[in-house]
Amino acid sequence: MARIGLFGGTFNPIHVGHLTIAEEARLSAGLDRVIFIPSGESYFKDPRQIASREDRLQMTRRACGEAYEVSDIETRREGPSYTAVTCRAFREMYPEDALYLILGADSLMEIDRWRDPGAIFDAVTVLAFTRGGEDAAAFTAEVERLRAKYGARIEIIDVFMLDVSSSDIRRFIAEGHAFRHLVSEPVYGYIREHGLYGKQ
């Protein structure tokens, strides 16, 4: 039985913060593999900020290299992605393995408003990490509530995090600031080659 981490995101673009969190999750939960899952729909409306599903998938593949796997389960489907649908699909693909959904505390606080949270908790254990900024007491209370309501398996991991976000990076690129070292080198090359996110 393998311990498999699932890490979804827009990855618009994927950056060193994402890779660091995946590695922290792998180390702290003893994961055998981590699979990155770029989301299907990009919700950004500003044309300078849009990267296509294909571009986000390619950047994620380049960033992960040999270290992590990348799934196109969400990018190959049209329309928005639902975590419940993805988790159920992974449960079917890996019936014998332990699945861990790597999720920021901010996302876990909203999960009860997502489509079919019960299906998510049936399929996976949530590995929740705090990203700073959340109210610790409210977070603990919400974790307890989800455990009681859904029988949710939620593990909290204490991780080292870098203060960088994709929106910061898109803004740095558009404004002509240095972004090269906030993404991995092949992602930097891809962004430049394809002229993504405005001014380079």
Interface contacts to ligand ATP, rule CB under 6 A: 9-12, 17-18, 21, 103-104, 106-107, 131, 161-162, 164-167
In the complex with ligand ATP, the residue whose CB is nearer, 1 or 57, is: 57
**Identity of the residue, 51 or 148, whose beta carbon is nearer to ligand ATP in the bound complex:** 51
| Shortest reach from residue 120's CB to ligand ATP, in Å | 14
Indicate the residue among 28 and 165 with the shorter CB distance to ligand ATP: 165
We find the least distance from the C-beta atom of residue 132 to ligand ATP, in angstroms, to be 9
Q: Could you check whether the bond before residue 80 is cis, i.e. omega within 30 degrees of 0?
A: no
Q: Please report, to the nearest 10 degrees, the dihedral formed by the alpha carbons of residues 92, 142, 107, 183 taken in order.
A: -110
Task: Work out how close the CB of 1 gets to ligand ATP at its nearest, in angstroms, rounded to a whole number.
Answer: 25
State how far the alpha carbon of 6 is from the alpha carbons of 66, 112, 168, 183, in Å.
16, 19, 24, 20
Among residues 1 and 159, whose Cβ is nearest to ligand ATP? 159
Residues paired with residue 7 on neighbouring β-strands, in sequence order: 36
Quick one: 17 or 123, whose CB is closer to ligand ATP? 17
3-state secondary structure 95-110: CCCEEEEEEEHHHHCC
Closest CA to 129 of 17, 50, 43, 1: 17
Of 4 and 83, which CB lies nearer to ligand ATP in the complex structure? 83
Task: Give strand pairing partners of 53.
Answer: none
- Rounded Cα distance between 183 and 180, Å, is 6
Q: Smallest Cα–Cα separation from 39: which of 77, 94, 91?
A: 77
Residue whose C-beta lies closest to ligand ATP? 17
Nearest approach in angstroms of CB 82 to ligand ATP is 15
* Least Å from the CB of residue 95 to ligand ATP: 26
Amino acid 141 reads A
How far, in Å, CA of 19 to CA of 97, rounded?
Answer: 23
Q: Least distance in Å: CB of 13 to ligand ATP? A: 9
